[in-house]
A = this chain, B = another copy of it.
Amino acid sequence: MKFQVGCQLKYDLSTASTFIFNISAVNNGSQQVLEEHLQIEPAVNSEEYVSSTVKNRLLRLTAPPGKLQVSYQATVALSLEEDNPELIPEIPPEKLPLRVLNYVYPSRYCESDRLIRLAQTEFGHLLPDYSRVTAICNWIYDNVTYLSGSSNSQTSAYDIVTQRAGVCRDFAHLGIAFCRALNIPARFVSGYAYSLEPPDFHAAFEAYLGSRWYLFDATRLIPRKGFVRIGTGRDAADVSFATIFGSAQLEDLKVSVDCLTEAPPQATVGAITSV
């Protein structure tokens, strides 16, 4: 399935500032950038870095005081596989690949160490397979209200589980924290999401089950097959779309996602393997 994704960011800089953008679609086994275009005004040099394991593409530039506009457009082919959820077990700690162990540990916004008892109470009795992560998503969907402006950049899973309102990053953080509290490796993914209203960057999460990472989205706002990955990290701290060193105001943010394939992605109960 092909998508045309893009964003346009406008800043006003009061001093020269360095930006590290994380807005480019990744290239990996299930996602291929066929064509892309980046435009920076004023024209300043930029540098790209691709992280070694998760292939995040970081774009660094330094701009003078005044206006800065960054526009990114890409055509991306997604070939996500869909597995049968009934055949995907959790992997017990004695068999877990140790390279994914980092994703079991708590992180800034996913304090899984503080949610262990709650996770046990709510999900401890469930079958240790794909359906348990689905149960986590259902719990979040049922108990947390999606509400713009109800959280901020310091809000963590520990807050959300009590305050019960948040946005997509908060839903993802809580899903990750519950998984880790049950010893299921889980990580944060940011991306362009087809049919998100209003259009914006989106966040979801992945859990390591069977022998790969599966995509989950407790918000139920988008079809998972329409999720074009930008970044992968332990939580939102790792994949901010813009890290700014200096002084800059975001004046406008536009995100667009179009499906170039005739049949656009639909909601599914299948297990989506994103990598």
Q: Which residues of A contact B (CB under 8 A)?
A: 18, 20, 49, 51-53, 58, 60, 62, 92-94, 98-99, 101-102, 105-108, 110-111, 113-115, 117-118, 121, 143, 145, 153-154, 158, 161-165, 183, 234, 237-238, 243, 245
Distance, CA A239 to CA B263, complexed state (A): 47
Judged by DSSP, the binding face of A is mixed
A-B contacts, 10 of them at CB < 8 A, read A18-B92, A52-B53, A58-B101, A60-B94, A62-B94, A113-B153, A115-B162, A117-B145, A117-B165, A118-B164
Residues in B neighbouring A93, C-beta threshold 8 A: 18, 20, 245
Residues in B neighbouring A111, C-beta threshold 8 A: 108
Residues in B neighbouring A92, C-beta threshold 8 A: 18, 245
Residues in B neighbouring A18, C-beta threshold 8 A: 92-94
Residues in B neighbouring A154, C-beta threshold 8 A: 113-114
Protomer copies: 4
Q: Is the CB of A114 within 8 A of B238?
A: no
Distance, CA A245 to CA B113, complexed state (A): 13
Q: Is the CB of B98 within 8 A of A58?
A: yes
The residue in chain B whose Cβ has the minimal distance to the Cβ of A93 is B245
Residues in B neighbouring A110, C-beta threshold 8 A: 108
Q: Is the CB of B52 within 8 A of A99?
A: yes
Distance, CA A114 to CA B94, complexed state (A): 37
Residues in B neighbouring A245, C-beta threshold 8 A: 92-94, 183
Beyond A105-B108, A107-B107, A245-B183, is A98–B161 a contact (Cβ under 8 Å)? no
Interface centre among A49, A98, A99, A110 (most CB of B within 10 A): A98
Q: How far, in Å, is A116 (CB) from chain B's closest CB?
A: 9
